[in-house]
Amino acid sequence: MTIAAPLQPLALLRRRLTFWYAATLSLILLLLGGGLYGVIHSQLAQQLDVSLRGATKELIRAARIREMEAASAHGNVVDAVDELHIPDRALFLLDSAGTPVKPSTASAWIRASARRAALGAAVEEEIAAQNQHRLSLHAERFRLGSGQMLIAVAVADQVELTDRYAELIAAFGGAALAAIVLVAAGGYFLVQKSTAPAERSMAYTRRFMADAAHELRTPIAVLRTKADVALQQARTPEAYESTLRGMGHEAQRLGRVVDDLLTLARADAGERPVERARFFLDDVVLDAAMSMGTLAQAADVTMIVDEFEETAILGDANLVRELVVVLLDNAVKFTPPGGSVRVSVTPEPQPTLIVEDTGAGIPQDQLPHVFERFYRGDASRPRAGGAGLGLSIAQWVADVHDARVQLASASGAGTRATVVFPKPIGATA
């Protein structure tokens, strides 16, 4: 027996959001439909009442005209009922006692309504017929020229209202169903679009955590192994010193990885404050180059520092120094002994930092990925103990300073890193 795999959290979220979109629209349409039904029902009922009142007025007018046309009033007045044809309306003439004059018979409820109308006020009422239809009635008294009082009655079957309601409900129901289907489809599409960044972020976070765990696992395993080996048997002081020195090196590497992870985590969360102050890029770059000079000397790499002009920018001097250190550190690490690293700063046309090395270079297919966290690239390319986080930090520093970082490189041709900063407000051209 096969068991269906559970839905992924985002897939379940998409279905729930789509359901709520459709359910919300359905509720809105239900409320709107109910309101429209109530309004239209009231309007159609009013139209029917107006129509019945108009029919009784026409019957009264026709009866009076027939009286004036003939000498025998009673005999000719009743002809008005036969001559007056109003579609879907039944017309009656009754005397003040409720006795049918024309036609000769009438239902008991019509006669009762006529007697109430004879008392003075017009009568309007509804009644359920035997065929499950509802009938509406309007009765109104009037006097002929001879002084005789008659009651004019108009009756209509509300089936026409029922037919209109059915047509209205069918039309609105069809439109509502189409709207719900369209909203469900469109909602699912929009939900996919809106959750796509979250899905990418979650995938990125999972990959980032896996890479971080891998990077942290190696130095931790080395530390544990060195400690276990050192404790297995007695050793000379020199052996213990060598072991502790190796453990210290791994602890230092572990500390760098943790510091970089913390920096990126704070950057992602927006918790790393960024100062906005005017300072000189050339001073920061010169200070970073002097600090990295020792590393370059130990690697037998020549650090060439061009003459700088004063180059003012706006931002966080400490973060910019960290960006410069990352670029210099990478350049030194990936430059073979005997090579060189050149640093230059130019103020025009925009403040620009350039770091060039004579290293192995980066293949073109790897250039778009070098700023990704923990990106390893070619396995044959030396890593020099790095965790692959430096350029990610450099990219973040550039982004918060509205700067552009560009890498130009090719295998065996060295790498050129260019950082272009915006001109500070008020800087002269």
3-class SS letters over 314-360: EECHHHHHHHHHHHHHHHHHCCCCCCEEEEEEECCCCCEEEEEECCC
pLDDT for the residue 252: 67
pLDDT for the residue 23: 81
Q: Which CATH number fits domain 9-164: 3.30.1300.10, 3.30.450.20, 3.10.450.50, 3.10.180.10?
A: 3.30.450.20
pLDDT for the residue 253: 65
Residue ranges in the chain whose pLDDT is less than 50: 1-7, 72-74, 379-385, 427-429
Tokens of 179: 């709207």
pTM: 0.47
Q: Is residue 154 within a helix (H) or strand (E), and if so which, with residue range? A: strand 149-157
SS3 169: helix
Q: Report CA-CA distances (Å) from 275 to 311, 315, 404.
A: 18, 6, 19
pLDDT for the residue 267: 61
Count the neighbouring beta carbons within 10 Å of the beta carbon of residue 235. 14
Q: How far apart are CA 278 and CA 320, in angstroms?
A: 12
Nearest 5°: CA angle at 400, between 289 and 372? 75
Q: Which amino acid is at 93?
A: L
Tokens of 128: 């359920």
Decide if 9-164 and 277-420 have a common fold.
no
Domain ranges for the chain: 9-164, 277-420
pLDDT for the residue 17: 79
Are 89 and 163 in contact, with CB atoms under 8 Å apart? Answer: no
Query: CA nearest 180: which of 34, 36, 23, 14?
Result: 23
Architecture of domain 277-420: 2-Layer Sandwich (3.30)
pLDDT for the residue 5: 43
